[in-house]
């Protein structure tokens, strides 16, 4: 009888233990099911690939440009109408995206600055949060990338054809080190990105940064697009022959298309110059026998066709990346972003290049697809800044966002739920001062833009005026500086107060720049 009781007790204990384990497993399963799978992030960024040449924003090129895959992304995701760069030049923009900080905080204010591997960035935070990370393509931050399980980056601007690419195996700072790879750089970078995703640790979510060199000057392209647009005449912007600041009252001269013409001519005359940004395709170039206006027109035709050919190769490779995700069952749970590090002038105001607070320069074209959450075919007009990208990554990853990062996630904005306290103005500061493109700061709202060109207070300045104000509703192409128009007096006064408020809030006070403070004091009112 005792044995029977003992066996019964053991059976009861085993049953209770089995039931307890079963319940525990149920609990664990329920917890797992309650925690949504964290998405992968594929962040694709080109260099200078401005929205006028995307085919999804209104422009004179919209119906001409060959971008089927960008249009595909726009149809399947959400397009940002007002994504703004905080400093429109390659190195600072990239540093802001990575660090989640404005240029004056991370110290990367100008083109020639670098980012220390010891400095924190969002890739490091993603790694700590369990993500596998990579960056492949253009880096441009001089020192060794940090926070990435794998990197393969171009030295400096890199080459369009047969590029040298640097990895951890052959890293040297700045422009040294690396190994040469055969092919057109955009193709090479996309293929390397796919290879890394294919061979990643499949137990972890990933963040892959795929950074193309294209469409940066010299706007080169692969042979397969050499005849694209060959027999077309590309229309010019309405402001194309605007050649003088005195015409519009603006506070600077800008980078004239005539300067690009001279670069083409110089590179034609002296092949030794054909390196870096002057290694232009399709030379020789001649304007013999042409008037100044005809020469400018010919320069524009070459430049914009080359630019769009370079962009066609980017689009081609976006398609390759999207097809890979689809074929491997990754599309549904991968956030795909395509953007450019800033905008670019394509003949507007007679200019090329970027740097200035004008619309074509400060607009970062941006499209995002995430089938589980982001609305398909939607467009969002909220003021988003590149400082916000890191916060969005952290939000999707479900990790804490560091207190010293200055961005704000726009995940809810993408769902159509814009917070009531979302920003009314984006802050801009260009530090890389030159006579024709002076240092300046300002704010851009939904309708109005105000900028203070403190660089005109430096010795040797091109002009002796300091303020630009534009009503983007009445003057969307910024053809007339309305700073002295009395009807805007109160609006301008309020915006000046807002600039000071913004500078204080983000810490851009110029406390260590007495010369600039003196110029502000002298010319603020």
Q: CA-CA distance, 384 to 337, in Å (whole number)?
A: 14
Architecture of domain 428-523: 2-Layer Sandwich (3.30)
Closest CA to 70 of 49, 94, 88: 49
Asked if residue 17 has pLDDT above 70, the reply is no
The CATH homologous superfamily to which domain 40-224+300-424 belongs is Alkaline Phosphatase, subunit A (3.40.720.10)
**Residue 86 confidence (pLDDT):** 99
Cα separation, 214 vs 340, in Å, equals: 10
The confidence score (pLDDT) of residue 83 equals 99
Average pLDDT across the chain, whole number: 92
pLDDT (tens digit, 9 = 90+) per residue, 402-443? 999 999 999 999 999 999 999 999 999 999 998 889 999 999
Give per-residue burial for 224-250: e unless 16+ CB within 10 Å, then b: ebeebbeeeebebbebbbbbebeebbb
3-state secondary structure of 371: coil
Predicted confidence at residue 525, as pLDDT, reads 81
Helix (H, G, I), strand (E, B) or coil at 520: helix
- What was the pLDDT predicted at 9? 44
pLDDT above 60 (res 452): yes
Q: What is the mean pLDDT of residues 67-85?
A: 99
Whole-angstrom distance, CA of residue 194 vs CA of residue 210: 9
Instruction: Dump pLDDT digits (tens) for 328-381.
Output: 999 999 999 999 999 999 999 999 999 999 999 999 999 999 999 999 999 999
Residue 24 has pLDDT above 80, yes or no: no
Query: What average pLDDT does the segment 183-209 reach?
Result: 98
Which structure tokens are listed for 129? 């949060």
Percent of the chain with pLDDT over 70: 92
Which residues sit opposite 184 in a β-bridge? 161
Find the mean pLDDT for residues 483-494. 98
CA nearest neighbour of 141 among 178, 168, 113: 113
Query: Of 179-193, 198-212, 460-474, which gets the smallest average pLDDT?
Result: 460-474
pLDDT score of 245: 65
In the predicted structure, residue 178 carries a pLDDT above the cut 50: yes
Q: Model confidence at 11, in pLDDT bands (50, 70, 90)?
A: very low
Query: Which pLDDT belongs to residue 84?
Result: 99
Percentage, residues of the chain above pLDDT 90: 86
Predicted TM-score of the model (pTM): 0.92
Residue 32 reports pLDDT greater than 90: no
Is residue 481 within 8 Å of residue 251, measured between CB atoms?
Answer: yes
Average pLDDT over residues 10-39: 48
Residue 289 reports pLDDT greater than 70: yes
Q: Provide the H-helix boundaries in 270-352.
A: 292-327
376, 351, 352, 354: which is closest to 365 by C-alpha?
A: 354
The whole-number pLDDT of residue 350 equals 92
**Do 65 and 53 touch, CB atoms closer than 8 A?**
yes
pLDDT category, 16, cuts 50, 70, 90? very low
pLDDT top residue among 2 and 255: 255
Least confident interval from 34-38, 122-126, 257-261, 503-507: 34-38
Alpha-carbon distances, residue 403 vs 19, 341, 393, 428 (angstroms)? 45, 24, 15, 22
Q: How many whole angstroms separate alpha carbon 389 and alpha carbon 12?
A: 57
Report the pLDDT value the prediction gives residue 277, as an integer from 0 to 100: 82
Residue-level pLDDT at 498: 98
Q: Mean pLDDT, to the nearest integer, of 115-128?
A: 98
Where exactly are the structural domains of the chain?
Answer: 40-224+300-424, 428-523
pLDDT band at 459 (very low <50, low <70, confident <90, very high): confident
The mean-pLDDT minimum among 11-20, 82-91, 195-204, 451-460 falls in: 11-20
Q: Are strands 78-80 and 378-380 parallel, antiparallel or unpaired?
A: parallel
Whose structure tokens read 């502000």?
520
Which residues, other chains included, contact 163 with Cβ-Cβ below 8 Å and sequence gap of 6+?
A: 154, 180, 181, 185, 188, 213
Give yes or no for residue 246 having a pLDDT over 70: no
Confidence band of 393 (pLDDT split at 50, 70, 90): very high
Average pLDDT over residues 114-135: 98
Domains 40-224+300-424 and 428-523 are alike in CATH topology: no
Q: What is the mean pLDDT of residues 372-391?
A: 98
Burial degree of 458 (CB within 10 A; 0-12, 13-18, 19+): middle
The angle subtended at Cα 414 by Cα 411 and Cα 418, nearest 5°, is: 85
- Residue 352, φ and ψ in degrees, nearest 5: -130, 180
């Amino acid at each position: 009888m005792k044995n029977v009781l003992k066996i019964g007790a053991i059976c009861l204990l085993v049953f209770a233990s089995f039931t307890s384990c079963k319940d525990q497993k149920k609990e664990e399963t329920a917890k797992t099911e309650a925690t949504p799978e964290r998405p992968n992030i594929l962040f694709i960024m080109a260099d200078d690939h401005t929205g006028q040449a995307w085919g999804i924003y209104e422009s004179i090129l919209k119906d001409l440009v060959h971008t089927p895959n960008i249009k595909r992304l726009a149809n399947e995701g959400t397009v940002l109408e007002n994504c703004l760069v905080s400093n429109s030049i390659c190195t600072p923009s990239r540093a802001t995206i990575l660090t989640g900080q404005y240029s004056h905080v991370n110290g990367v204010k100008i083109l020639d600055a670098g980012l220390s591997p010891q400095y924190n960035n969002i890739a490091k935070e993603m790694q700590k949060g369990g993500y596998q990370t990579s960056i492949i393509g253009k880096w441009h931050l001089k020192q060794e990338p940090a926070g990435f399980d794998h990197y393969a980056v171009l030295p400096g601007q890199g080459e369009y054809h047969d590029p040298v690419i640097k990895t951890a195996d052959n890293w040297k700072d700045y422009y040294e080190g690396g190994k040469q790879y055969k092919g057109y750089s955009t193709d090479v970078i996309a293929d390397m990105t796919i290879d890394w995703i294919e061979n990643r640790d499949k137990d972890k979510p990933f963040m892959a940064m795929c950074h193309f060199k294209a469409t940066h000057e010299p706007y080169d392209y692969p042979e397969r697009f050499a005849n694209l647009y060959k027999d077309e005449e590309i229309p010019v912007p309405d402001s194309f022959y605007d050649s003088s600041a005195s015409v519009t009252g603006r506070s600077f001269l800008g980078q004239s298309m005539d300067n690009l013409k001279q670069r083409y001519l110089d590179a034609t005359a002296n092949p030794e110059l054909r390196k870096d940004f002057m290694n232009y395709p399709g030379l020789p170039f001649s304007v013999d026998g042409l008037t100044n206006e005809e020469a400018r027109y010919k320069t524009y035709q070459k430049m914009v066709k080359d630019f769009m050919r370079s962009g066609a190769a980017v689009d081609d490779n976006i398609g390759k990346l999207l097809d890979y995700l689809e074929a491997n069952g990754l599309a549904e749970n991968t956030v795909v972003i395509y953007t450019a590090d800033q905008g670019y002038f394509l003949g507007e105001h007679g200019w090329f290049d970027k740097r200035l607070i004008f619309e074509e320069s400060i607009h970062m074209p941006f499209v995002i697809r995430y089938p589980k959450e982001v609305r398909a075919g939607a467009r969002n007009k909220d003021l988003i800044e590149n400082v916000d990208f890191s916060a969005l990554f952290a939000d999707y990853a479900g990790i804490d966002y560091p207190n010293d990062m200055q961005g704000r996630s726009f995940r809810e904005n993408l769902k159509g739920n814009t917070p009531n306290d979302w920003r009314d103005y984006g802050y801009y500061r260009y530090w890389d001062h030159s006579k024709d493109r002076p240092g300046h700061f300002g704010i851009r709202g939904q309708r109005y833009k105000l900028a203070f060109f403190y660089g005109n207070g430096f010795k040797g300045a091109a002009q002796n005026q300091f303020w630009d104000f534009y009503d983007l509703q009445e003057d969307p192409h910024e053809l007339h500086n309305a700073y002295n128009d009395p009807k805007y007096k109160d609006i301008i006064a309020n915006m000046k107060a807002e600039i000071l408020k913004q500078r204080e809030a983000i810490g851009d006070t110029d406390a260590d720049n007495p010369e600039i403070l003196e110029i502000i004091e002298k010319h603020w009112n």
